[in-house]
Structure 1
Amino acid sequence: MIGSPSTDLTSKFALDTKGLGELKQSAKAGSPAALKEAATQFEAMFINMMMKSMRDATPQDGMLDNQQTKMFTSMLDQQMSQNMAKRGMGLADVLTRQLSANGMGAQALAIGADGYPAAAGKAAAAAQGLAPLDGSMRPGMDAATMLRTGAGQPGAPALPLTTDSGRVQAPHVRAFQEKLHVHAAEAERATGVPAKFMLGQAALESGWGKRMIRNADGSNSHNLFGIKAGPGWKGKVATAVTTEYVNGRPHTKVERFRAYDSPADSFKDYANMLSRNPRYGKVLASGADASAFAHGLQRAGYATDPQYAAKLTRIIKHSLA
């Protein structure tokens, strides 16, 4: 039997086909070490998918960008994915526990010719009797589905790892959604507006949480939705410079904004505003249509940016899971 050191592909060149062949042999022999290594390779594949998504979102039309640089960048990303997977982010451990508990070996991950394990077919998974893990996996769910939905990860929220368009979420987008989705879900119960829509608006208004309005002492106002402090507001106030559009032209102004003690309070106040202000009645009636929701907000006067609805629709449809 081939020992574990020879099957540790994370310490080798990402395109080492000899190491892949050794891993295949260990998988056929039923080596427990091979299962762990195959799971680690699956994790490397996932990390590489995230890196590819980030590369695709970055402009690549500079003077030094060409097919050759793209090829070498891709090779570098594969090697970095291998190295990062060796340190681990948890997915390999989940896969190993799940497959071991159901008597499945490394071949369940169907190691492919590209050096990364591909997803086991649904029929093969069903034949192996793949059982639910914490109620999140179902018989017949293959590894690709587990990767896409995040099923089986301890404490994982019910959020997929990819967007509706099939793109892997950027890490900062997923971190933003995971941090706030509980508050958004509560606001959804209060308003009927899908949580994803409200998360999209919070992302647009706050720059994914990176451009939060600050109080005078520099502390966070937790104003995720850019709601201003009008005459009727009795709570805390933060002052900030903002851009307003008049007849389509931008103007810089200093405005007073509402300040909250927590993100949860921000979502509650936002939900209360949508529910009680008559001008947002059509927004609440937009149902599950992201475009109708975004354009309804703009028509109701929520924002003066003429591109506000288009920006919000794009975030909801293409960035959020």
Structure 2
Amino acid sequence: MINSKYDQSRLVTDVQGLESLRKGARDDDPEALKEVARQFEAMMVQMIMKNARQSNEILSEGGFFDSDQLKMYQQMRDEQLSVSITKGGTFGLADVLVRQLSKDYGISTDDTPEVAQHNNIQGMLDRGRSFPASRYDPELMAQWRQEYAEERERAAILKAEQAEIKAQAAAAQAEAKALSEKLEKGFESPEEFVRNLYPAAERAARQLGVDPKVMLSQAALETGWGRYMIRDESGKNSFNLFGIKADRRWDGDEATVSTLEYRGGVPVKEKAAFRAYGSYEDSLNDYASFLQSNPRYSDALKNADDPAAFTKGLQDAGYATDPAYAKKIQRIMSSPVMAKAFSTPSNQG
């Protein structure tokens, strides 16, 4: 039997055990000689297993389990398995090496006559006939087969999960793209306008303390319920819901278009640059920030809980040049169109 002080060297990943074995070899320790011979025998077994693996790789190439990670773990398992298979000494090659090397280097192994007989070549052949490969370590072989089957099952499950995640991501991406393209075109009806904007309008309205319907009514007035969005020269949607212009305080994208302004009560067409956003929600949030950061709208914000006073305050502060701006917002807010838009089940907040 092998001395327990070299047991660690049988673990292919144990560097300390290998160092202990090297020291024993330098000291001509008979037990170290036996362990070296055993590990040489294990290398031969490992080469046989490696050749078998390579033959199998031809059949499994391109399959579920043809991966560098799996091959790495299989190689580590085969290395350890080869050591375990030779542990019982049933091959006999290690015994022959020990006898030959101990004679060549004058190392005494203290074998009994029975052990010496056991180590001769005829004994090796006899044991080979008595112990077929399936009996070397049946428990270990059964454990290996079970673990390999479980590993294959885990790999199959992982591959299926990854395929499902990939399919879900592709579906979500396609849905987001379709929605983005649809919103880029604008809205087809007041109901669609309210349904898509109400959640974001509600969040932005909390910043100001106003009714979300007031914000949506003002946005409906500015954009014709989202059907006439401000677009840049290339036709790209600016997502600007409130007609906020790009003055010197704005450092984002712009969209320059013709606009109708009232000068001395007379409508005049002018070219103006408007703020451009990445989404409708960005526009709603910027609207809230725009009012809060401008002192001239402070009186309007003091009446945020009163839609009529709030919109009148915006007009008085010069938000728009239209003299009927506040009344138009109030009419939209109380109009049958707005009531119908909010009567749709999905639009009821």
TM bracket (short chain): 0.3 to 0.5
Q: Which has the higher helix share?
A: 2
Q: Which has the higher contact order (CA 8 A, sep 6+)?
A: 1
TM-score, normalised by the number of residues in structure 2: 0.42
